[in-house]
Amino acid sequence: MLYHDNPVIAEPDMVFFTHMIIFDSDAGLAMTLGESVRVTETTPERLSRSSLDMIQK
Looking at per-residue pLDDT, the higher value among 20 and 45 belongs to: 45
| Residue with more model confidence, 53 or 36 | 36
pLDDT for 9-43, tens place per residue? 999 999 999 888 989 999 999 988 888 999 999 99
**What 8-state DSSP symbol labels residue 50?**
S
pTM of structure: 0.66
Domain extents for the chain? 1-49
Strands lying side by side in the sheet with 45-46: 15-24, 29-38, 45-46
Query: Which pLDDT score is estimated for 55?
Result: 55
What integer pLDDT is reported at residue 36 of this predicted model?
Answer: 93
Beta strands at 29-38 and 45-46: parallel, antiparallel or unpaired = antiparallel
